[in-house]
Structure 1
Amino acid sequence: PPPDLEDVSKIANGEAFALECLIESGLKLDSLAALSAKELDTNGSKIKCLVKCFFEKTGFMNKDGQLQEETITEQLSKFMPRERIESLVKNCNFQEADACETAYKVTECYFQNKAGLF
């Protein structure tokens, strides 16, 4: 199943960013909670680019699609111990040719390893 993007929106008080990205994505969803595995099959690239949009707005990724590990660590360490975050950031440091794919894979990795992140 896709990661729970409603959790993602809590990062860096990013609910407004998440909403902006949802609107920009053109996805017809009532909320991020409406995302499902079926939606991912149908609108996979739009959803992945929605995550990239969110990463850019929160500073997790620059406009060139490069992850900003320091920013990610700073933001996420508000939710759990910094050592855990540093290890998470290191383990989930994907760099795909496509920035949308990178953002999505990183998010998926964070959620698979979160163990109480939110």
Structure 2
Amino acid sequence: MSFINFVVFITVCVSYSMAANVTDLKLRYLQYVLECATEHSVSTEEIRDLATHRVVEGDNIKCMLACAYKKTGMTDEEGKLSAEGMKEIAKTAYPDDEAKRKKSEDFARTCLHVNEEEIIEERKECGRAAKIFKCAIDNFDSAV
């Protein structure tokens, strides 16, 4: 699966905005990723690792993910995955398709366990964001 397809699906599942449709959600999420990549000095190599679904290891890329997840409403102020935020994202993305909303919400719930996992990084929200990303990658094929 291509990186753009992966980003599109994750965007629909995790990005929240007042967007009118899925295309707007995708664009908003990509905007957040670019803003956060600049803010956290993410290298081209680290972006390539994301594109190939590699587990993220550097602090900059972990914090970029945390930044983007927080801006979308996917995580709360502590960096914990927000079931309510993800439900709102699904409602925004699929206002007239209950089956897709349910599938998105189920996919999101699959990763809620990361909120209880031990985080060893000093910046907990960054470490948790990496775990959320890994969970999303690990469970992506079963969600589509």
TM over 0.5: yes
Q: Give the Å deviation of 1:29.
A: 1.9
Aligned counterpart, 1:106: 132
Residues 1:17 and 2:32 aligned together: yes
Q: Give the Å deviation of 1:9.
A: 5.6
Residues in 1 aligned to 2:77 and 2:90: alpha-carbon distance in whole angstroms: 20
Residues in 2 aligned to 1:39 and 1:84: alpha-carbon distance in whole angstroms: 24
Q: Deviations over 1:49-73 (max 9, x none)?
A: 1110001111111222232212213
Q: Give the Å deviation of 1:45.
A: 1.8
Q: Which moved more, 1:98-107 or 1:76-85?
A: 76-85
Q: Give the Å deviation of 1:39.
A: 9.2
Aligned counterpart, 2:62: 48
Q: Deviations over 1:71-114 (max 9, x none)?
A: 21332462771222222222211114421122221222122222
Over the residues paired in the alignment, what is the CA RMSD in angstroms?
Answer: 3.2
Unaligned runs of 5+ in 2: 16-24
TM-score (norm 2): 0.60
Larger radius of gyration: 2
Residues 1:86 and 2:126 aligned together: no
TM-score (norm 1): 0.71
Number of aligned pairs?
112
**8 Å CA contact 1:52, 1:100 repeated in 2:** yes
Q: Give the Å deviation of 1:115.
A: 3.0
Structure with the higher fraction of residues in helix conformation:
2
Q: Which moved more, 1:65-74 or 1:46-55?
A: 65-74
Indicate how the Cα distance of structure 1 residues 47 and 9 shifts in structure 2: closer, same or farther if over 3 A, else same.
farther
